[in-house]
């Protein structure tokens, strides 16, 4: 009896573990475009277009390679709209009682598909071996650690996989070169832009489909210039390694008006749906260092993001789910402001980052963390709403990577399990790392009053408000000592400015 092998929209890789089980002549490969996945939150139009176009290209590749592919299009008349019901329908039609699935990235998808056990279908779950640390290995590493820090995990991974190592010592005699990675470009010009890709006939068909079915979703659909095949993703990867990695380290935290991509790789789009795998990217970055093309701070800084952060975040997600999504350490209750959907705000940094997000379904890490995230933390926005926003607006957003970044990193909603202290800052940090403040309605140099940068008083107000929960944190000793020395009048201005600002949004 044939097996049914379900390939999900983020598993578009010829080496995906489920496909390795396939008998080309007997088994059926099922791929489905279902409205439930596009609408459980109203994803950015570009994200839907990326996933659907990449799926159609991948199914073509599998068919050409001789697999028996059953591809369900979104507007097929018989499409029942959810993964579970499509699996049931096709399994019945093809007389399969056995479904093989590589473990999904998201808990929600796993739960939905696992419910098929209650029908007559048997499911064989297979580990997703695209990750360099399996869920079991991470569980082993994390067990009995009260605060499992990324830096320790990263060192463990460097040693285990022998990446940027000289024997037992880290290359360059340091594990981390972040101190060299905080420059701001002086003339504001980024000479090398990411590679763009022209839509082909398949993508154009998808663009019309998305416009027709999801016109009320957030974001601009066009121009659509993202890679949709492995071949194109490899071109994007090589272009990044050859032209842009060299500056990645130096300007990793920098932000400039009208430079949404800086020297970032934009590879998360491709990594997260399977067009690229982490190991091949790391190998290329390491080679670029070894052949003298890039300095250690660039190679190490970049490799840390993928081998360290990405694997660690995924490990934390599966270790802490399902309860992690309910975390709310500060009991934050505020609604997400309307301007997160249209960028219509006088805070220039937010307006820049939101508009770029709307145009590109992308913002780089420091924009997500120190502008948008910092604002949500300081103003006390409900974690559920923040999570939903991040999941909607980015083309690389999948819950396994979005949720720990929001809950653990930006909101400290897990009480410090993931981060050793909240990533909170006043306007000075944004001013140091960007040119946003130059043209802002607010003055970054002013601490309180009508024209003062809201981040300034919101920052101190946040620390003041959460004294009980935060003041014993050793990494905050200095800031609490500054806060404790503040005069009563200054503190009272901070509280009152913060209160009226938060009320006004
Ligand atoms: C609040 C918040 C939400 C985020 N949501 C997502 C998300 O939904 N999907 C997503 O892929 N990343 C997310 N990130 C992580 C990071 O911002 C993006 O991976 C990165 O901006 C993608 O752009 P890039 O490919 O140009 O990255 P680069 O800066 O070029 O970094 C290279 C790669 O490292 C990995 N990486 C870097 N930082 C992280 C991190 N903190 N967590 C996991 N992987 C990381 C990514 O795969 C990325 O492609 C989020 C970060 C924050 C602070
Ligand atoms: S002054 Fe404040 S609000 Fe304006 S851009 Fe700078 S940090 Fe943002």
Of the pLDDT bands very low, low, confident and very high (cuts 50, 70, 90), residue 14 is very high
Answer whether 369 contacts ligand 1 (Cβ < 6 A): yes
Query: What is the whole-number distance in angstroms between the Cα of residue 438 and the centre of ligand 2?
Result: 8
Q: Is residue 372 part of a domain?
A: yes
Q: Is residue 210 part of a domain?
A: no
78 and 139 in a single domain? The answer is no
95 has pLDDT over 80: yes
Answer whether 401 contacts ligand 1 (Cβ < 6 A): yes
Q: Of all atoms in ligand 1, which is nearest to the CA of residue 261? A: 26
253 and 316 in a single domain? The answer is yes
359 and 404 in a single domain? The answer is yes
> Is there a contact between 383 and 391 (Cβ–Cβ < 8 Å)?
no
Q: What residues contact 84, with CB distance under 8 A and at least 6 apart? A: 112, 113, 115, 116
Answer whether 370 contacts ligand 2 (Cβ < 6 A): no
- Residue 423 DSSP class: -
Residue 25, domain CATH: 3.40.50.620
Among 74-83, 116-125, 300-309, where is mean pLDDT lowest? 116-125
176 and 289 in a single domain? The answer is yes
Task: Calculate the CA 371 to chain-centre distance.
Answer: 15
Structural domain containing residue 233: 135-196+229-320
Whether omega before 322 lies within 30 degrees of 0, making that bond cis, reads: yes
278 and 155 in a single domain? The answer is yes
Q: What residues contact 465, with CB distance under 8 A and at least 6 apart? A: none
Query: What is the whole-number distance in angstroms between the Cα of residue 27 and the centre of ligand 2?
Result: 57
Q: Which uninterrupted H or E stretch holds 4?
A: strand 4-6
Residue 382, domain CATH: 1.10.579.10
Rounded CA gap, 229 and 275, in Å?
Answer: 7
Q: What residues contact 494, with CB distance under 8 A and at least 6 apart? A: 447, 448, 457, 460, 461, 464, 486
Closest residue by CA, ligand 2 atom 6? 437
Ligand nearest to the CA of 267: 1
41 and 190 in a single domain? The answer is no
174 and 250 in a single domain? The answer is yes
Q: In angstroms, what is the C-alpha Rg of the chain?
A: 24
Q: Average pLDDT for residues 60-83, to the nearest whole number?
A: 97
237 and 351 in a single domain? The answer is no
Q: Is residue 249 part of a domain?
A: yes
Query: What is the whole-number distance in angstroms between the Cα of residue 219 and the centre of ligand 1?
Result: 19
Domain closes at, from 320, 349, 377: 320
Tally of domains in the chain: 3
Domain closes at, from 263, 293, 320: 320
Query: What is the whole-number distance in angstroms between the Cα of residue 316 and the centre of ligand 1?
Result: 15
162: helix, strand or coil = coil
Domain closes at, from 126, 149, 164: 126
26 and 172 in a single domain? The answer is no
Residue 297, domain CATH: 1.25.40.80
Q: Which uninterrupted H or E stretch holds 5?
A: strand 4-6
Answer whether 405 contacts ligand 1 (Cβ < 6 A): yes
> Is there a contact between 75 and 107 (Cβ–Cβ < 8 Å)?
no
The pLDDT tens digits for 211-221 are 999 999 999 99
Q: Pick the closest to residue 421 from 429, 411, 430, 431 (CA basis).
A: 411
Identify the burial level of 228 via C-beta atoms within 10 angstroms of its C-beta, where 0-12 means exposed, 13-18 middle and 19 or more buried. Answer: buried
Q: What residues contact 259, with CB distance under 8 A and at least 6 apart? A: 188, 190
Of the pLDDT bands very low, low, confident and very high (cuts 50, 70, 90), residue 180 is confident
The pLDDT tens digits for 192-251 are 899 999 999 999 999 999 999 999 999 999 999 999 999 999 999 999 999 999 999 888
353 and 413 in a single domain? The answer is yes
33 and 99 in a single domain? The answer is yes
Q: Is residue 213 part of a domain?
A: no
Could you tell me the two tokens for 37?
């996945």
Ligand nearest to the CA of 423: 1
Could you tell me the two tokens for 24?
């080309």
98: helix, strand or coil = strand
Q: Is residue 476 part of a domain?
A: yes
Answer whether 38 contacts ligand 2 (Cβ < 6 A): no
At residue 434, φ and ψ (nearest 5 deg) are -150, 175
Of the pLDDT bands very low, low, confident and very high (cuts 50, 70, 90), residue 186 is low
pTM for the full predicted model: 0.97
At residue 50, φ and ψ (nearest 5 deg) are -60, -50
Of the pLDDT bands very low, low, confident and very high (cuts 50, 70, 90), residue 184 is confident
92 and 192 in a single domain? The answer is no
The pLDDT tens digits for 420-473 are 999 999 999 999 999 999 999 999 999 999 999 999 999 999 999 999 999 999
Of the pLDDT bands very low, low, confident and very high (cuts 50, 70, 90), residue 114 is very high
Query: What is the whole-number distance in angstroms between the Cα of residue 406 and the centre of ligand 2?
Result: 22
What string of H, E and C letters represents the secondary structure of 319-331?
Answer: HHCCHHHHCCCCC
Closest residue by CA, ligand 2 atom 7? 427
Rounded CA gap, 244 and 263, in Å?
Answer: 6
Q: Which uninterrupted H or E stretch holds 99?
A: strand 98-102
Answer whether 497 contacts ligand 1 (Cβ < 6 A): no
Q: How many CA atoms lie within 13 A of 438 on its CB side?
A: 9
């Amino acid at each position: 009896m044939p097996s049914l092998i379900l390939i999900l929209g983020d598993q578009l890789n010829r080496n995906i573990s489920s496909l390795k089980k396939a008998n080309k002549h007997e088994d059926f490969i099922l791929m489905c475009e279902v409205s439930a996945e596009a609408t459980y939150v109203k994803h950015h139009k570009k994200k839907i277009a990326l996933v659907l176009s990449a799926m159609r290209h991948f199914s073509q590749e599998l068919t050409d390679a001789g697999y028996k592919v059953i591809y369900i299009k979104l507007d097929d008349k018989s499409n029942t709209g959810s993964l579970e019901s499509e699996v049931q329908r096709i399994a019945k039609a093809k007389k399969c009682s056995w479904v093989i699935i590589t473990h999904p990235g998201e808990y929600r998808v796993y739960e939905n598909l696992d419910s098929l056990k209650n029908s007559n279908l048997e499911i064989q779950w297979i580990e997703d071996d695209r990750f360099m640390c399996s869920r079991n290995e991470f569980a082993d590493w994390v067990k009995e650690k009260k605060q499992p820090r990324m830096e320790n995990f990263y060192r463990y991974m460097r040693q285990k996989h022998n990446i940027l190592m000289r024997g037992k010592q880290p290359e360059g005699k340091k594990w981390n070169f972040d101190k060299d990675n905080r420059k701001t470009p002086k003339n504001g010009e980024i000479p090398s832009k990411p590679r763009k890709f022209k839509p082909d006939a398949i993508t154009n068909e998808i663009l019309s489909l998305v416009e027709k079915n999801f016109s009320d979703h957030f974001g601009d659909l066009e121009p659509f210039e993202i890679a949709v095949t492995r071949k194109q993703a490899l071109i994007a990867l090589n272009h990044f390694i050859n032209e842009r990695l060299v500056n990645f380290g130096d300007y990793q935290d920098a932000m400039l008006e009208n430079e949404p991509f800086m020297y970032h790789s934009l590879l998360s789009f491709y990594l997260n749906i399977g067009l690229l795998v982490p190991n091949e990217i790391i190998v290329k970055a390491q080679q670029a260092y070894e052949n003298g093309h890039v300095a250690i701070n660039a190679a190490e800084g970049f490799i840390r993001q993928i081998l360290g952060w990405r694997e660690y975040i995924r490990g934390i997600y599966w270790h802490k789910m399902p309860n992690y999504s309910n975390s709310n350490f500060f009991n934050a209750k505020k609604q997400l402001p309307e301007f997160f959907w249209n960028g219509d705000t006088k805070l220039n940094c937010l307006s820049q980052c939101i508009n770029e997000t709307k145009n590109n379904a992308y913002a780089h890490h420091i924009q997500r963390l120190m502008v948008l995230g910092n604002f949500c933390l300081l103003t006390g926005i409900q974690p559920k709403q923040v999570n939903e926003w991040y999941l909607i607006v980015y083309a690389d957003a999948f819950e396994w990577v979005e949720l720990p970044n929001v809950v653990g990193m930006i909101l400290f909603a897990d009480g410090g399990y993931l981060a050793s202290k909240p990533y909170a800052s006043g306007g000075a940090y944004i001013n140091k790392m960007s040119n946003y403040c130059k043209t802002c309605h607010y003055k970054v140099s002013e601490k309180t009053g009508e024209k003062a940068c809201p981040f300034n008083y919101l920052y101190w107000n946040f620390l003041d408000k959460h004294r009980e929960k935060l003041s014993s944190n050793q990494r905050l000793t200095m800031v609490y000592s500054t806060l404790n020395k503040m005069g009563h009048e200054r503190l009272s201005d901070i509280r009152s400015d913060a209160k009226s600002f938060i009320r006004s949004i």
